Structure 1
Amino acid sequence: MKVYFINLDRSPERLEWFLKQTEGMDLNLVRVPAVDARELPEVELNRLRALSSGRNSLSAAELGCFLSHRKAWEMVVADNAPWAFIAEDDIHFSCDAGGFLRSHDWIPVGADIVKGEATLKRVEMGHKVEATPFGHELRRLISYHFCAGGYFLTPWTARRLLAVTEQHCEPVDEIIFSPKYGILGELHALQLMPAICMQDNFVSGSSPNEKMVSTLETDRVHFHRFDPTSARLRGWRKIPRELGRIGRQVAVSLRRSALLATKHIIFKTVPFHPN
């Protein structure tokens, strides 16, 4: 199985770190030269933002990330192997990740995508354990699990994502892993527990690796500070949106409580054990 990892040409330190981390794993690595947001013309940025629902005011770095994942999906489709793994270059792998990344034999028939990553948020998953490869559980992923730093997918799933993103542009993790704003509800999506990878900003905590500081996050914070679209969501204009958010949270909590009581789902943080 090929491991496609996304890396900017101007981030050689990330490339060195990723290759050093995977050294000895005997992986089939393919570097995906990331789309550099600094080189995107304003007309292209505006075209992509026009494809957004308007809920998200997307920074140039977020759009570069979006296009970089599309580039990886195109490579997966062209290769047409049964499964591939897509990684961002800031992820940390667990000590047993190699077994999952060398072969797809452990993935159940009928699955479309497997999220190998964990974050620090709780997510909703199926109560049934669908498989236990290498001592890890595979459960159906039901709710939005943000971040797209490490996931397995089939060429069919990659083609579906490419088709959707021809006319729809949102943060890439929403498109893949949100049932409301993306295509998660269309897919047989599974979650690995414990996860085999986690992005650096979650692993490092309050003392992040200086080489791995997220250029996307830095750009996003700066963009939203000065973007007039984001500014419209501040102050009293934010009240209707917040009221709607609270109402949705109450509805989700009631639904989740009912499903938990009947043992249809579990709701927990996906663990991750780094090297």
Structure 2
Amino acid sequence: MSHFSPTLTSPIDSRSRRVSIEPFGVFVLTMRDETRMASIERQLSRLDISFEYIDATVLERIEHADLPIEREAIQARYGRMLTQGEVSCFLSHRRIWQQVVEAGKPGVIFEDDALIEEELCQFLDRLNGVSARFDVVLLGHSKKDHRRKTLYHFLEPLKRWTPMGPFKLGRGFKTWPSGAVGYVVTPAGAAKLLAATTAIRCVLDDWPYFETKGVKVQEVRPLLVWEDFIKLDSSLEGERQTPARRKLFSIARVIRGCVRQLQSRKDDGS
């Protein structure tokens, strides 16, 4: 396993200059694809963020995993077995959780196909001083079109949220395996994730499963990280055996979004 730890500096906007993310370690999981690496380096350079590359685990066979795989539990939960890529991804993120525990400070974890909003540093600066308890904060959702983020935020608001300046930190109305393109994990949260994954029983991004193991998962709005699935092919989706995704603009989803918006406003951070 090799690591690359560039310290990236370049002209950035005034908002980024006024905040610091020094309390966080920043990790980028990569398969050393030159296009992806150029994209993530350009973005983090613009934000003046130093980071460490973590080489992804790539298994030739699922049986080569260094953790036991509970096939019956996986089959019962998903109706299928995990793919080779999903197991590799699971092991890759787990290695980063171990580093977060060892470092003793929160980690910000990106996959190398991330699209990062410029407000990220401002949010992390506020998150460092927030009193709300969390183990994991999801910064983004995979396979969501950032060009339609206004509509997506309307359809997927938060409940029981806490205001943080221009941001909200709270619980999604429903958690689901929503990707791991960008998230924050505390050392205590990483320890809980490690304790819950001494064997492989789920996909890496099955946040509902981890919540059953005592991991407190929160989300930010607006989302600050998106997956660049439009320009960069996913390393997993080609082999995932998942049903076709529903269209974003279905009438049922819009109606549900309206109901959730009313409930979110009623909660008003309580």
Aligned with 2:185 (options 153, 157, 165)? 153
User: Deviation of residue 45 (structure 1)?
Assistant: 8.7
Partner residue, 2:248: none
Structure 1 residue ranges, 4+ long, deviating more than 6 angstroms after superposition? none
Partner residue, 1:22: 44
Aligned with 1:141 (options 164, 167, 172)? 172
User: Deviation of residue 100 (structure 1)?
Assistant: 3.1
Letter in 1 for 2:189: T
Letter in 1 for 2:116: F
Cα distance in 1, alignment partners of residues 66 and 238 from structure 2:
18
Q: Report the CA distance shift for 1:124/1:104 in structure 2 as closer, same or farther (over 3 A).
A: closer
Q: Report the CA distance shift for 1:125/1:99 in structure 2 as closer, same or farther (over 3 A).
A: closer
User: Deviation of residue 103 (structure 1)?
Assistant: 7.2
Q: Report the CA distance shift for 1:265/1:165 in structure 2 as closer, same or farther (over 3 A).
A: farther
SS at the partner of 1:139? strand
Cα shift readout 1:28-52 (whole Å, capped 9, x = no counterpart): 31111110133x4645399425374
Partner residue, 1:167: 199
Q: Report the CA distance shift for 1:261/1:139 in structure 2 as closer, same or farther (over 3 A).
A: closer
Residues 116-125 or 89-98, more deviating? 116-125
SS at the partner of 2:162? strand
Cα distance in 1, alignment partners of residues 132 and 81 from structure 2:
38
Cα distance in 2, alignment partners of residues 130 and 137 from structure 1:
6
Partner residue, 2:117: 94
User: Deviation of residue 2 (structure 1)?
Assistant: 1.4
Partner residue, 1:182: 210
Structure 2 unaligned runs (5+)? Answer: 1-23, 145-151, 244-255
Cα distance in 2, alignment partners of residues 21 and 170 from structure 1:
31
Cα shift readout 1:148-189 (whole Å, capped 9, x = no counterpart): 111111111101111111124311111xx21xx332673333
CA contact (8 A) 2:29 2:54 kept: yes
RMSD over aligned CA atoms reads 3.3
Cα distance in 1, alignment partners of residues 265 and 56 from structure 2:
45
Cα distance in 2, alignment partners of residues 103 and 96 from structure 1:
11
TM-score by length of 2: 0.69
TM-score by length of 1: 0.67
Cα shift readout 1:96-123 (whole Å, capped 9, x = no counterpart): 2233346742443422221111454754
User: Deviation of residue 215 (structure 1)?
Assistant: 1.7
SS at the partner of 2:108? strand
Partner residue, 1:248: none
Partner residue, 1:74: 98
CA contact (8 A) 2:123 2:167 kept: no
CA contact (8 A) 1:37 1:60 kept: yes
Cα distance in 1, alignment partners of residues 162 and 55 from structure 2:
35
SS at the partner of 1:138? strand
Cα distance in 1, alignment partners of residues 107 and 64 from structure 2:
33
Letter in 2 for 1:196: L
**How many percent of aligned residue pairs carry the same amino acid?**
22
Cα distance in 1, alignment partners of residues 196 and 185 from structure 2:
15
Question: Which structure's residues are more often helix, by fraction?
Answer: 1
Cα shift readout 1:205-232 (whole Å, capped 9, x = no counterpart): xxx21xx211211132xxx4xxxxx9xx
SS at the partner of 2:51? strand
Cα distance in 1, alignment partners of residues 64 and 51 from structure 2:
34
CA contact (8 A) 1:52 1:168 kept: no
What number of residue pairs does the alignment pair up? 217
